[in-house]
Amino acid sequence: MPISIDEFESRDPEKRETNAERVVRFLAHNRDKAYKAIEIAEATDINENSIHPVLNRLEERGLVRHREPYWAIGDLENVRDAMMFGSTTEFLDEALGPESREKWLNAARGDEEHRE
């Protein structure tokens, strides 16, 4: 699927889109249609073996709908909220640095020690 040269020039080579993001973007741009998994894989350049797990995870989150054998974009409000959440966390990671699970756990342990 071609992109404009402006989009090409503005892409950060370090910042790759996930398979899930590619699927959601494709289905959102084609929201008037439903596709078979293989068609989505081909259109998004995702390996055939990877497409079903991606679609199943997206369905669990309400971002895509499934009626055998077709898949379509889910509730657009859910999709918008998920995209907004993703861009917000991305912004915060850039501004404040990524979160550390270990720091969260250490902070939680410290709180427990202070309560005793």
32-36, 72-76, 98-102: the lowest-pLDDT one: 98-102
Q: How far is CA 65 from CA 27, 30, 59, in A?
A: 10, 13, 6
Q: Domains, the chain, ranges and CATH?
A: 5-115 (1.10.10.10)
pLDDT computed for residue 105 by the predictor: 87
Cβ-Cβ contacts under 8 Å for 47 (sequence gap 6 or more): 41
Asked if 85 and 41 count as a contact pair (C-beta separation under 8 A), the reply is no
Query: pLDDT (tens digit, 9 = 90+) per residue, 36-52?
Result: 999 999 999 999 999 99
Q: CA–CA separation, 8 vs 5, rounded Å? A: 5
Asked if 33 and 25 count as a contact pair (C-beta separation under 8 A), the reply is no
